[in-house]
Chain A
Amino acid sequence: MNPLDVLRFGWGALSGHRLRTGLSVGGVAVGIAAVVALTALGEGARRYVVQEFTSLGSNLLIVIPGKVETTGTLPFGGVVHDLTVADARAIAQRLPEIVRTAPVAVATDLVQYRDRGRSVPILGTTGAYQFVRQVRVAAGRFLPPGSAQHGGSGIVLGPKVAAELFRGDNPLGKIVRVGPYRFRVIGVMAPKGRSLGFDFDDLVFIPVGTAMRIFNRSSLFRILCEVRTASDLGRAKRRVLSLLRERHRVDDVTVITQDAVLSAFSSILSALTLALVAIASVSLTVAGVGIMNVMLVSVTERRREIGLLKAVGATNGQVLVAFLTEATILSTAGGLAGLGLGLAAVRIFVHLYPGFPASPPAWSLAAALGTAVLVGTVFGVVPARRATRLDPVSALTGR
C-alpha cells in the first residue's frame, strides 16, 4: 500500500468531519503554541540576562573581601583583612594578565545642589572604572586617572541625578554637597539604563580616596579587574588569589568571574524554561487524549467501513496503519498550526516589549513538532488496534 494513498485515504476520512477534525487539530495547536511561546519567553529571559552581563563589561574578575566558605577553626568566622586601594594597585602592576583595576567603595548619602537633594548610591572609584565597566561620559570628563591616594573633590553625576538636581541647567563646574563636603561637578554620564535591577543612571562617582575618608571606610567594597583576554580568566583568577594571599598572609578574599555568575543564571533560567515546557506539555497530553477520544469515536462509527475494508482484502496491518495515519495527520496538522500560532504570539509579544529578546530556540521548534507527531501516533495506537481487532462479520452486519 503506497504511503501517499494511505495519506489520501486518511485525509478523506478526516475531511468528512470538519468540526471534529478542526477541534482536535486545535487542541494540539494550542498545546504546541504554548510550548513554543513559553520556551521563547524562557530563552528570552536567558538572553536578556546574558546581554545585561555583557553590558557590564566582559573579561571581568571581581574581588570581594571575605572568604566564601564555612570554617570551624577560627572563632567568629575568622579575621578578614581589609581590601585596600594598595591591593588594587598591586594587582594591576604585578600581574601581566590584568590590564587595569578599579577599586570600588560604596555608600549612600544625600547629594545636594542648592535646595534640592537626592539620596543616591555614591561610588568611590578611579578613572579606570570607565574602561572596566565600559561606561561613557556625556559631558565633561570622568574621574582623573588619579594620584597615589586618589583624593580630590571632583564628582561625576549619573544622568538622572543631573537632571533631577539641575533641572536643565548645565551642571558642569557647579558645586554640589555630599553631606558637609563640597564637590565640583566635572562630568555627567551618558545614560546606560537599568541593569539587573540596578539603575546605573541614578548614582554619582567620586574619587575612591575621598570616599573612604569621608565615609570612614577602611575596606573597599570590591576590586574590579579587567583581564587581557577571556582565555586568561582562569589563570588570572588564580594569580589574583595567590597575590592577595601573599599580601594578606591568609586566604581571605573571594574572586568571582562574570561567566561564573552568568552560567549560574543561565542554568537557573534553562531550568525555568524546562519547567515551563513541562507545564505546557500537560496541555499536549490533554490534546493527545482528545485525539484518542476522537479516534475511538471514529472507529465506533466506522465499524461497517472497517468490516468492508477487511472484506475487500485489507490486512490487519493495513487497517492499523490507516487509522494510525489518521491520528498522526491530526496531530501533525495541529503541530504545524501550533508552530504558526506560537510564532505569531511571540512576534506580537516582541512587538509590545521590544527590549525583551523573546525568541524560541530552534531545538524547541523541532522538539515541539516532533512531540506533536509522536502524540498523535502514541494516542492513536489504542483506537487503531481496536479497529484492527474488529470482527469483520459483526462489523459488517452491525451486530
Chain B
Amino acid sequence: MIQLERISRVYHVGDSEVHALRDVSLEIAGGEHLAIIGPSGSGKSTLMHILGCLDRPSSGSYRFGGREVGALSEEERSHLRQQEIGFVFQFFHLLPRLTAVGNVELPMLFAGVGRRERRRRATEALRAVGLEDRMEHRPDQLSGGQRQRVAIARAVVMEPSLLLADEPTGNLDRASAEEVMELLESMNREGRTLVVVTHDPEVAARARRIVRMSDGELQAEAAGDGT
C-alpha cells in the first residue's frame, strides 16, 4: 500500500542544514499495524507528516496506493488526506467552539457532504467510540480520553484506508490510554492500516511490527507483541 524509497527531508535553519530524515526506505502493507518508535528529534514525526502528505520529502519517492505522491498537486494531496488518511494527534486538535459531533463533522464539511448525511455519519462514528451520550458536549466538557475518542471518530468518519496516530496516548492517563489504544486497534482489525508514532515502548510493543528510528535513520525492525 505504501512504499517509501530513500526518503530524505532537509530543513534549512539559517545557513545550516538539518537532516530530519536520511534515506528512509519503508514498505507498509494494507491492514498492517506498525509502530514507529524513537526518541524525540529522531525524525519519527517528520516521517509521519510525510506519510500523511502534510509535508513533502526533499528527495526520494513516496508511493501511496501505487500513486507517486510527489507528482500530485497541492489540491490532489488535500483530496488524498481527505479521502484516504485519518489523523490522531497527541493534543487532540479539536476545535473548542464546536461540539463533539461538530468536530467529527469537520472533514465532511470540506468534502461537501450534505448536512443531514454529515450528522448521521458523525453520530454513527461517535457511537462507535462509545460517546453517543456526549455528542453535544464541547471539548472543554470532556475528559482527555473522551477528547481523544472524539478525535478518533473524526479520523475515521471519512472511512480512510490509513490511520496515522502521533503519540495518541501521550497526554492521557493509563486507563484512558488503554481505552484509546484498544479503540485504534479495533479500527485496525476492521482493515484500516494503522501507523502509531510513539516514544513509549509499551505502546509500540502492541504493534505487530516495530521500526526504530534514531537521528533521522531507520535503525532496526522488530516484531511486536501485537497479534
Contact = CB atoms under 8 A, between A and B. Distances in A.
A and B pair up: yes
Interface of A: 1-2, 5, 9, 12-13, 15-16, 304-305, 307-318, 392-393, 396-397
A310 B78 contact: yes
B16 to A, nearest CB: 17
Interface of B: 45, 49, 52, 54-55, 74-75, 78-79, 81-83, 87, 89, 93, 95-98, 102, 106-107, 109-112, 114-115, 154, 158
Contacts of B79: 313, 315
B109 A1 contact: yes
Given A393-B49, A393-B54, A314 B78 contact: yes
5 contacts: A312-B82, A312-B87, A312-B110, A313-B81, A315-B74
B78 A313 contact: yes
B74 A312 contact: no
A31 to B, nearest CB: 28
A2 B117 CA distance: 13
Contacts of A5: 109, 115
A308 B112 contact: no
Given A15-B97, A313-B158, 18 more contacts: A1-B112, A12-B97, A16-B97, A304-B93, A308-B95, A310-B81, A313-B78, A313-B82, A313-B83, A314-B82, A314-B110, A315-B75, A315-B79, A318-B110, A392-B55, A393-B49, A396-B54, A397-B45
A196 to B, nearest CB: 61
B107 A312 contact: yes
Contact of A311 (B75, B87, B102, B112): B87
Contacts of A307: 93
A5 B110 CA distance: 9
A313 B114 CA distance: 16
The B interface is mostly helix, strand or loop, or mixed, namely helix
A318 to B, nearest CB: 5
Contact of A12 (B82, B98, B154): B98
Contacts of A392: 54-55
Contacts of A393: 49, 54-55
Given A310-B54, A313-B82, A314-B78, A9 B93 contact: no
Contacts of B95: 305, 308
Contacts of A13: 97
Contacts of B96: 16
Contacts of A318: 110
A310 B106 CA distance: 11
Nearest to B151: A308
A115 to B, nearest CB: 85
B76 to A, nearest CB: 9
A392 B82 CA distance: 14
A163 B114 CA distance: 80
A396 B98 CA distance: 18
A393 B55 CA distance: 7
Nearest to B81: A313
Nearest to A398: B91
Given A13-B97, A392-B54, A317 B75 contact: yes
Contacts of B106: 308-309, 312
A2 B105 CA distance: 13
Nearest to A392: B54
Contacts of B55: 392-393
A9 B93 CA distance: 17
A328 to B, nearest CB: 18
Contacts of B74: 315-316
A329 to B, nearest CB: 15
A314 B74 CA distance: 11
A326 B108 CA distance: 20
A242 B9 CA distance: 94
A79 B78 CA distance: 88
Given A13-B97, A396-B93, A397-B45, A313 B54 contact: no
Contacts of A317: 75
A318 B109 CA distance: 10
Contacts of B45: 397
A340 B47 CA distance: 56
Contact of B89 (A2, A309, A396): A396
Residue among A305, A307, A309, A315 facing the most chain B CB atoms (10 A cut-off)? A315
A207 to B, nearest CB: 85
A310 B52 CA distance: 11
A318 B111 CA distance: 10
